[in-house]
Amino acid sequence: KVKSEGRNHVAVYTDDLTAQARQRVLLETRLRSALKLDKLECYYQPQLDVLSGKIIGAEVLLRWHDAKYGFIAPSVFIPIAESCGLIHALGKWVLQRSCQQLRQWLDQGIPPFSLAVNVSAQQFNKDQLLDELKQVLAESAVPAELLELEVTESALMIDEAKVVATMHQIKAMGIRLAIDDFGTGYSSLSYLKRLPLDVLKIDRRFVEHIPQAIDDQQIASAIIALAHTMNFKVLAEGVETAEQLAFLREQGCNYYQGFYFSKPLPAQEFIALLLSQPN
């Protein structure tokens, strides 16, 4: 009896794994073809100056709408792309597409603003990134100062000496650097101090429960103070309410993004929103 139950259990577990693996392979195949057929889309979420309320730029967020399965979230397909190596081609595509888009906007006479592009840990730690950045900037003729790269703390942990060198090379090109989801990783302060960073982005989970959660308030203000001590700017992500924004203003947070002002938008809607803002 026990034995058959055990066998049964194993059988179910194996079936489950097989289904999961099949699902992964299926998504990987469809993602690969979506990339090849140019069916992915860049969305743009406004980033604003806390004090002036002006849009200073946008974060580029990848969107995938599959014909059969509908909208598939980046939290699902980015890890798949990372595990099968597709992240390199995907990351390059996002850089190219968003810089081409910015070039078009600049050519239309739209006042310059910056784009923040997410770079995965693997992409950041691969030698070809620097050449790709040079190539993308040259092809699009986008000024390097208008490009910001967002890397998570996990990207910093792979090879510290190399990360420091890479960051200095990227900075030397004129590109800005931000740490994404700050506060959720394990980077030491002495390490952070050695990095030529421009922005720390406070992770959404520390903003979410402000003002009710006193501990989150304290963490957010500590990150703001820390960033300023190190001469970095600080941006809060996931701002959804007027109360959260008021708190961040009081604490001296420089920038914010979040549903309170706007969710990520398709290119045309983003630019319409930007142009509708008073200068």
- Contact residues: ligand C2E, CB under 6 A: 45, 61-62, 73-75, 78, 91, 94, 118-120, 150, 180-181, 204, 237-240, 257-259, 264
Region 253-272 residues binding Mg ion, contact defined as CB under 5 A: none
Q: How many residues does the chain have?
A: 279
> Which residues inside 139-178 make contact with Mg ion, applying CB under 5 A?
150
Contacted by 240, from Mg ion, ligand C2E, none: CB < 5 to 8 Å by type: ligand C2E
The answer to whether 47 and 58 are in contact (CB under 8 A) is yes
* Token pair listed for 65: 């709408």
Q: Smaller CB distance to ligand C2E: residue 75 or 268? A: 75
The least distance separating ligand C2E from the CB of residue 112, rounded to whole angstroms, comes to 21
Q: Which of residues 176-215 bind Mg ion (CB under 5 A)?
A: 180-181
- Strand ranges in the chain using DSSP code E only, listed in sequence order: 40-49, 55-66, 70-72, 114-118, 147-152, 176-182, 199-202, 233-236, 255-256, 265-266
Instruction: List the x/- string, 220-239, binding to Mg ion by CB under 5 A.
Output: -----------------x--
The residue to which tokens 């002006």 are assigned? 54
Task: Say if residues 210 and 247 touch (Cβ distance below 8 Å).
Answer: yes
How far from the centroid of its chain's Cα atoms is residue 34's Cα? 20
Which tokens hold the place of 176?
Answer: 């800005």
Nearer to ligand C2E, 78 or 146 (CB): 78
Q: Which is nearer to ligand C2E, 70 or 111 (CB)?
A: 70
Comparison of 150 and 216: residue with beta carbon closer to ligand C2E: 150
58 vs 224 by CB, closer to ligand C2E = 58
Task: Give the residue carrying structure tokens 């399965």.
Answer: 69
* Closest CB to ligand C2E among residues 87, 146: 87
* Torsion angle of the four alpha carbons 191, 78, 146, 102, in this order, in degrees rounded to the nearest 10: 180
User: Minimal distance in Å, beta carbon 211 to ligand C2E?
Assistant: 15
Of the pair 47, 166, the CB lying nearest Mg ion is at: 47
73 binds, among Mg ion, ligand C2E, none (CB under 5 to 8 A by kind): ligand C2E
Q: Which two tokens stand for residue 42?
A: 């860049």
**CB 25 → Mg ion: shortest distance, Å?**
25
Contact status, residue 116 vs residue 59, Cβ threshold 8 Å: yes
Minimal distance in Å, beta carbon 13 to Mg ion?
31
Cα radius of gyration (the chain) = 21
Q: Give residues with Cβ within 8 angstroms of 91, minimum separation 6.
A: 119, 120, 123
Chain positions 111 to 130 lying near Mg ion, rule: CB under 5 A, are: 118
**Least CB distance from residue 75 to ligand C2E, whole Å?**
5
Asked, as a colleague might, if the bond just before 211 is cis with ω within 30 of 0, I would say yes
Provide the binding-site residues for Mg ion, judged by CB under 5 A: 118, 150, 180-181, 237
